[in-house]
Chains A and B, each alone.
Chain A
Amino acid sequence: MSEVLVLVDHVDGAVRKPTFELLAIAKKLGTPSAVFIGDAGSASGAVESLKKYGAEKVYTVDDSEVKGYLVAPKAEVLAQLVEKTSPAAVLLVSGGEGKEIGARLAVKTGSGLITDAVDVAEDGTATQSVFAGNYTLTGKVTKGTPIIAVKPNSASPEEGEGAGTVEELAVSVSDGAKGAQIVAAQPRQSTGRPDLTEAAIVVSGGRGTGGDFAPVEKLADALGAAVGASRAAVDSGWVPHTFQVGQTGKTVSPQLYVANGISGAIQHRAGMQTSKTIVAVNKDEEAPIFELVDFGVVGDLHSVLPALADAVEARKG
C-alpha cells in the first residue's frame, strides 16, 4: 500500500489531537507516515505518541534553520517528500496554517486541494460542509497527489501500535521561503479548558450574557467543555477574539454545542451548524437559534446556567 503523509501539528513536540485523527483517516487510505518538522530534541516524544496512534513511519525534519518562518518552508519540505515517496495522499489539519501549507504544496506539485473536509472515504472521496453548513458536498482530487485538509473532530483517534520507524531527513529550504518571519509570539494563556476547535463539548455565550461570562464558564467547567463566544460578545470586548465561533472565527463541530444568549445569525451558524447535538438557552423565543436546536430553553441564562451547572455536578455525584 502507498504511504499517506500526515503533517504533524505540534507545539514544541507536543502533538495536538487532530493529528491523531488524521492518522486514523490515513489508515483507511494507505500506510500512515507522519511528517514531524520540529526541534530534533523534541522529536522522540512526538514519535512515541505518533506510534501509539498508528504511524508506521515517522519522517523527522530538524527545523533549526527554518524555525520561525511562516508556512513556505514546510510546504517545501512536504514537496520534497511527495517527490520522494509518491504518496497516495497528503493530509493536513484544516486550520490557518495547514490550509496555507496545502495551498502552496498544491501549486508546487500540480495537485488538487480540498480544504475543510469533515470526512474522507477509503477511495479518497472527501465530504465538505459548505454555505454555513447548509450544504454537504462530496468531491475528489482528480490530478496530482490528493492534498486534503481535514477539520478537527472529523474522526476518532485510534490507538494501535504502528511500527513508527524513524527516518531522519535532511531537506533543503530555499532562501525565498524565508520571506515572512515570526518576530514575536505570545503563546495563548492556558485557560485550563480544552482547545476550542478540539473540544467534545463547547459552551458559548453571546450578547445575552450582557458581558457576564461567569455562568457560561461555570457550566463549561461542570461539563469539561471549551468556552466559545459569538461575534457580538467579542466585538463588545467581553472575551478575546480567539473565543469567537463563526465565519470569521473558529469553526467547531463538537459532540455538543450549548449556545447561550446567542441569536443564531448566519455568520455564527457557519461556525457551529455541523455540531452533532445543539442546545440553546435564550430569553427570546423567536431567536433563530431555536430552529437548529435539539433542545431549547426559553429563559434567562443567568438563572438557567448556574442551576444547570449544579444539576450536572449533582449527577456526576
Chain B
Amino acid sequence: MNIVVCVKHVPDATADRKFESDNTVDRVGVDGLLSELDEYAVEQALQLREKREGEEIEITALTVGPEKALDAVRKALQMGADKGAHVSDEAIAGSDYLATSLVLAKAIEKLGAEKPVDIVFFGMASTDASGGVVPAMVAERLGLPQVTLASVVETQGDQVRIKRDGDTATEVIGATLPIVLSVTDQSGEARYPSFKGIMAAKKKPVETYSLADLGVEASEVGAGAAYTEVADTTARPPRTAGEIVTDEDGSGAEALAGFLASKKFI
C-alpha cells in the first residue's frame, strides 16, 4: 500500500503572525513548524500501518514550499514516515488554493507513478490559512472521492469507514480506495518522535522536485496565476480595554446584568 501524507510548514500560531507589504504571509520573520493539525494526519497514517501488520505499506510525507518547509517533512520522518518529498520552486511563492492543489496533485501522481497511491492523508486545515479546501481540490483534480474531517478511521482491505461530526449529524462514511482522507484533532494524540526516530530520520531519503519535474508550468502557479487577489490586509485594531470588576458578594452578577441591559441584550 502506498500512502502520501501532505504536510504544511506554517508560522507558529502562538507567535506574532503578520503579513508582508505585498500581502503575503510573513514566513521568514516568524518561526515555523509542522502545522499541528497535520501531525494528526501523520499519526493516523502510522496507526493504519500498525493495524495492518504484515502488509507492505510505505508512507511518504509530501510538502510544497521554500527550503524551510522541509522542517515539516523532517518532523513527519521523525514520527515514523518512510520517506519525504519536497516540491520547491521559486515560482510557487504566492500560490493560492488552486495552484497549491495543482502542485500537490501532480506530485501525488509522480509519487504514484510506479505504485499507485491508495490514500492521500491531510490534516483538517492548516493553522495559517485554515480554509480546509485543499483536500477537496486535490481530490477533484485526481478524480478521487474525498472523505474528510474524520475523527475515527478504520480500513479493511480496500474499504474505508470513518466517523465524523457532520454539520447536522454524526455520520459514518464509507468509501473504496483510492481516496483522499482528512482527519481532525479528535482522531487521537499525535506521537512525539522518539530519540531513535530522530536519529533514524536523518538517514531517510527525501526527494526534491522542481515544477519542471512535475510537468507544471511556472505560469500556472504563484501570485501571478492566482484566481483571487488580496486587496488589503489590516491588523485588527486591539479591542479597547473593557471594564473589569471583581465580584464581591454578588456585585459581579449585578454589574454584568447592568452592562448587558445597557447593550440591550436583556
Q: How far does the alpha carbon of A223 sit from the alpha carbon of B264 in the complex, in Å? A: 12
Contacts of A267 in B (CB 8 A): 13
A-B contact count (CB 8 A): 260
Are A248 and B256 in contact (CB-based, < 8 A)?
no
Q: Is A1 an interface residue (CB 8 A)?
A: no
Chain A binding surface, main DSSP class = mixed
What is the CA–CA distance of A99 and B140 in the complex, to the nearest angstrom? 13
Closest chain A residue, CB of each to CB of B265: A256
Q: How far is the CB of B169 from chain A (nearest CB, A)?
A: 4
Residues of chain B contacted by A241 (CB below 8 angstroms): 151, 165, 186
**B-binding segment of A26-34, A38-46, A105-113:** A105-113
CA–CA, A67 and B25, complex, Å = 40
In the bound complex, residues from chain B placing their C-beta under 8 Å from that of A99 are 131-133, 136
Closest Cβ of chain B to A151, distance in Å, is 12
Interface size class of A (residues with CB under 8 A): 35 or more
Interface presence of A316 (CB below 8 A) = yes
Q: A96-B167, A183-B173 given as contacts; is B266 within 8 A of A312 (CB)?
A: yes
Is B101 interfacial (CB 8 A cutoff)?
yes
Q: How far is the CA of A299 from the CA of B161 in the complex (A)?
A: 46
Shortest CB distance B106–A (Å)? 13
B239 touches A106 (CB 8 A): no
Interface majority SS on B: helix, strand, loop or mixed?
mixed
Min CB distance B196 to A, Å, is 29
Contact B233–A135 (Cβ < 8 Å): yes
B97 touches A140 (CB 8 A): no
CB distance from B48 to the nearest CB of A (A): 17
Q: Which residues on A are within 8 Å of B, measured CB to CB?
A: 9, 11, 70-72, 75, 95-97, 99-100, 102-104, 106-108, 110-116, 125, 129-144, 176, 179-188, 201, 223, 240-242, 247-248, 255-256, 266-267, 270, 273, 277-279, 281, 285, 290-300, 303-305, 307-308, 310-312, 315-316
